[in-house]
Amino acid sequence: MTAATDTSTKTDMSAKKARRFKPDRDVEEWHGGYLPYDLVKEFIIAFLVVAVLVVGLAVIFSSPDETPVTVKSWSTSDPVDFAQTAITELDGTSGTATYGPPYNATTGASQSIGPFSPESWLGVHHPINTANDYVIDPLKTLPNQPGVAAAVAEYNGASSEQQAAWTAAYEKAVANATAKNGVLQVPKGDYGPVGTMIGALTSMARSGALDGALLSSRQFYGTDYTKPLLFIADGAYLANLAQNQHLSGDQWGMMNETGNYPGQAWLWLYTLWYQVPPMNSSSSGDLQVWAIMMVLTLLLALVPFIPGLRSIPRWSRVYRLIWRQHYRDLAGASPT
Amino acid sequence: MTIDTDAPTKVAADLPQDAGQLSAKLRHAAVEALPPERLMPDRQPTYVASWIYVFGVLTVSALAVVILTGVVLAIFGPAWWHVSPTGHFVNSLHLWSVEVFFFAMVIHLWGKFFMAAWRGRRRATWVTGVVAFVVSVGTAFTGYLSQQNFDSQWISTQAKDGINSTGAGAIFNVTNFGQMLMWHIVLLPLAVGLIVGGHVLLVRRRGVVPPFAPPGDAPPDVKAVPVADLTPKGDDR
C-alpha cells in the first residue's frame, strides 16, 4: 500500500524530500475494493425522505406564532408598568437610557475585557434620547390637547434640577399606582407637569397612537422597530410574558421557543455560558460569552492544524465503530 | 438546416494560440480539479459502509427543503403566514426543515470529526464545513428575528446585548426587522449556498477519507519515502 500524503507545498518531483507520515494528517491511498454508487439516486431518495419527514412534523406539530406585544397591548394590560417605565425614560434611568453604545454615550456602560471594548470603540450608531423619543416628542404630536402642550412646555422650560425633582416625586408616587378599570391611578404628589405628561402618554399608548408615533418619526414605510422594541423591553411586562414561556436568560431562553418547540437547540453551548459564573453575574458577561464562543469556534475550524486536538479521533477509537465492517473485513482477510 | 454534431469540439478547440485565454485556463483548471468521473462517480470505496455517511446528503436535502419553503414564503411576503392557514403550514414546513437540517448537520459534523476527515489534503473540506455550520446558525437566527411575533421580539431584545457587546451592533441591528429580513432571505442564504456548494465540490474532489490503518500496521514513514513517490499517479495535488 502506498501513501497519499498531505503536501500543501508544491512538490518538486526531482526533489527527494522525505516527510514523516502523520496518521492524523495523512492517509494511505485506498487500494481496496469499490462498490456501485449512484450519487443522484442517493440525493433523490434522501430528499424524498426529508420531505416526507418534514411534512409529517409540520402536520403533527405545526409551528408557534404568539401574538406580538404592542405598546397598546402593554399599556392596556399593565398601565402601571407602562407608567413606571415611561417615567424612567423621561428621567433617563431606564435600561435603554443608560445602555451606552450603540444607543447613547453613557459613560462606563460599555462592556469590556480589560482594555478590549469594541462596543465603545464603535460608538453610537442608533441614537436614542429616551426622554425626547419616548415621551416628549410623541406628546407633541397629540392634537387639540392644550393641557398636555402646556405641561410639556412647562417641563421643557424648567431647570434640570426642577425636572429631576418632579420626575423623582412622580417615580415615588407611581411605585404605588394602581389601575382601576384599566385606568392609571397615581397617588398625589409634588410632581408638577409630569403627572399630566405620563397620564397623557399612557392614554396615547392605550389608544394605539404611540405605536405609530414611535415609528413615524422616520418615513411612511417603516421597518425599523428599534425604538418601540427597546421601550417595551425596558418594562417588566415583556419579561414576565417571557418568563411564563420559559424564555428568560436563566431558563436557557436564547435556545428556547414559545410553546413546546425545540427552538434553536444548536445554541446550547452559547446559552450554557450564561448559566455559569462569572458570566451569569458579570456586567460584561455578554462580551465574555462571545469571546469564549469565538475562540471555541476558531478551535473547531482549525482542528486539522492543531496537534493533539486533531489526534482525539484516533485516540478515542470511535472510528472503529464507524468503519467496523472495514476492520472486520481486514481481520477476515488477514493470514493470521 | 443541418445539425452540427461536432459543435462541442469546435467551441473548445484548444489551439495553441488560445492557451493564454482566461476562459481556456479556467476550463482546464476546472476539469483538472474536478474531472466528470470524480464529480459524478458511479463507484465508491467499500469502507463507505455506515449510516453515518447518510447524514451529509440528508443535510443537503434538508437545505433544499429549507430553500424551497423559504422561496414560497418569500413569494407571498412576510405577513402571509400570520393570516393564512396555508401560509402557516408552509412556515411549519420551513421551521421543521431547519430543525432536520441542523440535526443532520450536527451528526454529520461529529461523524466527520471522529473519522478525522481532514486527513489527506481534506483540511479545506473540514474548514468549509465548520464555516457552513456557523453561517447556518446566523441564518437561522435572523429567521427567528424575522418572524414578527412575540418570539422574535423577545429574541431580538435579548440577543442585542451579545451582538452589541462585540461592537457588531453598530451595523447589525437585531431590532431592525427590515435589516434582519434582508440578511435572512438574501445575504446569509447566498453565503450558505456558496459555502455548502464549495464544501460539496471539495468532497467530490478529494473523495471520502479512508479509514485509519489498523493499530500495529507499519506506517509508511518507516521507509522515509520521498514525498514525490508517495503521491500516487492520477491523485490530486
Domain borders along chain B are: 48-115, 121-205
3-class DSSP assignment, residue A334: coil
Q: Are A278 and A291 in contact (CB under 8 A)?
A: no
Kindly indicate the confidence band of residue A7, based on its pLDDT and cuts at 50, 70 and 90: very low
B94 contact partners, CB below 8 Å, separation of at least 6: A63, B66, B69, B70, B73, B143
Identify whether A274 is part of a domain. Answer: no
pLDDT of residue B214: 81
A245: confidence class by pLDDT, cuts 50, 70, 90 = confident
Residue showing cell 481532514: B118
**pLDDT for res B230:** 36
Same domain, A85 and A27: no
User: Do A56 and A112 share a structural domain?
Assistant: no
Residue corresponding to grid cell 468532497: B203
Q: How many CB atoms are closer than 10 A to CB A11? A: 17
d(CA A302, CA B189): 24
Query: Does residue A228 sit in the same domain as residue A91?
Result: yes
Note which residues in 79-138 of chain B have CB less than 8 A from chain A.
Answer: 81-82, 88-89, 91-97, 99-100, 102, 106, 111, 113-116, 118-123, 126-127, 130-131, 134, 137
Q: Is the pLDDT of residue B235 over 60?
A: no
Cα–chain center distance at B10: 35
Task: Kindly state whether residues A188 and A225 are assigned to the same domain.
Answer: yes
Q: Minimal Cα distance from B62: which residue of A?
A: A50
Distance CA A151, CA A140 (A): 10
Segment B124-153, tens digit of pLDDT:
999 999 999 999 999 999 999 999 999 999
Give CA–CA dist A219/A201, Å, rounded.
22
Contact A85, A94 (CB under 8 A): yes
Q: In this structure, how many other beta carbons lie within 10 angstroms of the beta carbon of residue B68?
A: 15
Within-domain flag for A226:
yes
Residue numbers of the domain that contains A329: 3-61+305-333
Cα–Cα distance, A275 to A251 (Å, whole number): 9
**Optimal mutation site among B230, B231, B233, B236, interface A, most CBs of chain A within 10 A:** B230
Cα three-residue angle A199-A205-A210, rounded to 5 degrees? 120
Lookup result for grid cell 500524503: A5
The Cα A19–Cα A194 span in angstroms is 80
Based on the fold, state whether residues A11 and A79 are members of the same structural domain.
Answer: no
Mark whether A10 and A158 lie in a shared domain: no
Mutate to test the interface with A, among B37, B95, B145, B163 (most CBs of A within 10 A): B95
Collapsing DSSP states into helix, strand and coil, what is residue B20? coil
d(CA A69, CA A217): 20
State mean pLDDT over A169-173: 95
Residue A266 lies in a domain: no
Q: Is residue B234 within 8 Å of A3, Cβ to Cβ? A: no
Q: What residues are paired with A27 via a beta bridge?
A: A4
Residue B164 has its nearest CB partner, among A14, A20, A102, at: A102
| Residue A290 domain flag | no
**pTM summary value:** 0.89
Cell of B119: 486527513
Domain boundary among A206, A229, A244: A244
* Grid cell of A232 as nine digits: 417595551
Give a yes or no: residue A206 inside a domain: yes
Q: What tens digit of pLDDT does each residue of B35-92 get? A: 999 999 999 999 998 999 999 999 999 999 999 999 999 999 999 999 999 999 999 9
* pLDDT tens per residue across span B153-196: 999 999 999 999 999 999 999 999 999 999 999 999 999 999 99
Establish if A181 belongs to a structural domain.
yes
Question: Which among A260, A326, A334, A336 is the top mutation candidate for probing chain B, defined by the most B β-carbons within 10 Å of its own β-carbon?
Answer: A326
- Please answer whether residues A60 and A180 qualify as being in contact, where contact means their C-beta atoms are separated by less than 8 angstroms: no
Which residues from chain A sit within 8 angstroms of residue B100, using beta carbons? 50, 53-54, 57
Is A27 strand, coil or helix? strand
φ, ψ dihedrals at A301, nearest 5°: -65, -30
CB contact under 8 A, A50 and B97: yes
CA distance B109 to B134: 12
For residues A26 and B120, what is the distance between their CA atoms, to the nearest angstrom? Answer: 5
Cis preceding-peptide flag for B219 (omega within 30 of 0):
no
Report phi then psi at A18, rounded to 5. Answer: -90, 140
| Residue matched to cell numbers 416628549 | A136
ipTM exceeds 0.85, yes or no: yes
Q: Which percentage of chain A shows pLDDT scores above 70?
A: 93
Cis peptide before A102 (omega within 30 of 0): yes
Whether A34 is in a domain gets the answer: yes
Last residue of a domain, one of A227, A244, A261: A244
Among A313, A199, A96, which residue's Cα sits nearest to residue B211? A313
| The three three-digit cell numbers of residue A13, written as one number | 518531483
In A158-275, where does DSSP find H-type helix?
A: 160-174, 194-207, 209-216, 226-234, 237-244, 268-273
- Asked if A85 and A215 sit in the same domain, the reply is yes
Q: Count the alpha carbons within 13 Å of A232 in the hemisphere toward its beta carbon.
A: 31
* Euclidean distance between CA atoms A316 and B99, whole angstroms: 29
* Cα–Cα nearest to A260, from A58, A64, A53: A64
Question: Tell me, what's the pLDDT at A205?
Answer: 96
Overall number of domains in chain A: 2
Question: Is A267 a domain residue?
Answer: no
Domain boundary among A198, A220, A244: A244
Distance CA A53, CA B96 (A): 9
Euclidean distance between CA atoms B132 and B193, whole angstroms: 9
Q: CB distance from A55 to chain B under 8 Å?
A: yes
